[in-house]
Amino acid sequence: MTSYLCAIGTANPPHRIPQPQIASFMAGALQLNEADSRKLRALYRVSGIAQRYTVLPDYGRENGQYEFFANTPDLEPFPSVGQRMAQYRQHALPLSVQAVRDCLRQQPGLSLSSITHLVTVSCTGMYAPGLDIELVAALGLNPNVQRTCVNFMGCYAAVNALKLANAFCQADAKAQVLIVSTELCTLHFQKSHEDDHLVSNALFGDGAAAAIVLGKPAPQGFSLALEAFHCGLEPDGRQDMAWHINNFGFEMTLSSYVPHLIQRGIRQLTDQLLENLPVELADIHSFAIHPGGRKILETIEQELGLSTHDNRFAYEVLRDYGNMSSATVLFVLQKLMQSLSAADAGAPVLSFAFGPGLTLEAMLLKVVAAETATASIHKAALAATPTAPLVATPSE
């Protein structure tokens, strides 16, 4: 039985900071000399990011005006994990609710009270009772809703949430699954000159995405049928992409070797996903790729023979939001769904996401138009209805 991604909603915090302005903040916070400051600004210019969103207005301010960081030249005392998690608890819920409301606007016939499963996703904050329980109260969900938390898996975690939703719908045709992925990455700025931290500071932003997965297509617009999943692992990358909790926040390791690891594994991942399906890579013209960074997108294009136009939704999300960890691939899928037309019905969609491990996740989806789905259901119903034998009517 097939399940369907029927709607995606997104939300971002109110503070939209241009990338050059963030670079200025970082250069000051790291107390860089003129030469190193130029190098840092160059890194930000080539990132492919124009702006990012954050729950912390400090990234757009100058020293002396900070609300979260200390108003000292070196930002000391630097915020602890506890202080960062207090910010997460303050901001995660309202941002999540905003994303859910945006999602439901696309399918107004769906009632929150009918949601049977709630899956929350995050790697940038944790507490208990957590975001899942707070969402039940804030949204007015049934207290008996089945809750699952996908925590600390990194940028590919939304794919695991979709796998869970798919399993729930296959087990119960009446299941209605709400996924909420909320990431406040900018809480975890690391005041370090190490290359890994310089790169991660240049990439990550804050955002939330919500998605509805059902056992049948949406009654209006377009849905994406969840056709197949495949997970690959490159153990050689365990030290190249990692995520650890330390005294002053969650620390990201993101080495320059990651694109090479993805290049080495992406073709095999694709082949293994498609090997038992009636679809070949040449048949696929729609893509939703997690924009872990500009170099990663370029590497995948080179390896799979894609154009920048094929990858346009990923570049748009990277430009406008940066990398929002697990929520990002849902932002890309939302842009793809918004672009669909009747001519796309039945078209396959290939999606990738990557994270610690090094983990490579792949999904194959198929575009379903509401009109097509309704016609198919009606046709199947007619075929199942026995027809009465023809009886001749005597003439008068």
User: How do beta strands 117-122 and 176-184 pair?
Assistant: parallel
Structure tokens at 248: 């002053």
- Tell me the C-alpha distance between 154 and 123, whole Å: 6
Q: What is the CA radius of gyration of the chain?
A: 23
Spatial distance between the Cα atoms of 333 and 383, rounded to a whole number of angstroms: 35
Specify the pLDDT at position 238. 60
Q: What are 353's two structure tokens? A: 């996401």
Where along the chain do its domains lie? Answer: 3-214, 224-374
CA-closest candidate to residue 160, choices 184, 177, 139? 177
Q: In Å, what is the CA distance from 125 to each residue of 12, 188, 249, 322, 329?
A: 16, 10, 10, 19, 19
User: Which residues on neighbouring strands pair with residue 361, listed in sequence order?
Assistant: 231, 353
Q: If one looks up domain 224-374 in CATH, what number appears?
A: 3.40.47.10
User: Which residue in the list 123, 155, 169, 185 is annotated as catalytic?
Assistant: 155
Q: How far apart are CA 295 and CA 315, in angstroms?
A: 11
Query: 80-118: string of b/e by CB count within 10 Å (b at 16+)?
Result: eeeebbbbbeebbbebbbbbbebbbebbeebebeebbbb
52-62 core/surface letters (b: 16 or more CB in 10 A; e: else): bbbbbebbbbe
- H or E, element range at 267: helix 258-274
Nearest to 296 by CA among 329, 273, 251, 338: 329
Beta strand ranges found along 133-240 (DSSP E): 146-151, 176-184, 206-214, 222-233
Q: How far apart, in whole angstroms, are the C-alpha atoms of residue 343 and residue 349?
A: 14
Contact between 122 and 185 under an 8 Å Cβ cutoff? The reply is no
The fold adopted by the segment(s) 3-214 is Peroxisomal Thiolase; Chain A, domain 1 (3.40.47)
Integer CA distances (angstroms), 24 to 31, 39, 186, 264, 370, in order: 10, 12, 15, 36, 48
Per-residue model confidence as pLDDT tens for the chain (396 residues): 899 999 999 999 999 999 999 999 999 999 999 999 999 999 999 999 999 999 999 999 987 799 999 999 899 999 999 999 999 999 999 999 999 999 999 999 899 999 999 999 999 999 999 999 999 999 999 999 999 999 999 999 999 999 999 999 999 999 999 999 999 999 999 998 888 889 889 999 999 999 999 999 999 999 999 999 999 888 776 666 666 788 788 877 665 557 777 887 888 889 999 998 999 999 999 999 999 999 999 999 999 999 999 999 999 999 999 999 999 999 999 999 999 999 999 999 999 999 887 888 999 999 999 965 444 444 544 454 444 333 333 332
- Global pTM value: 0.91
214 neighbors 234 (Cβ within 8 angstroms): no
For position 390, what pLDDT does the model report? Answer: 32
Positive or negative, the CA dihedral 169, 174, 175, 177 is positive
Neighbours of 195 (CB within 10 A): 12
Domain pair 3-214 / 224-374, same fold = yes
Q: With CA atoms as reference, report the closest residue to 18 among 313, 324, 322, 312.
A: 322
Q: Are 245 and 252 in contact (CB under 8 A)?
A: no
155 catalytically annotated: yes
Secondary structure tally for the chain: helices H, strands E: 11, 13
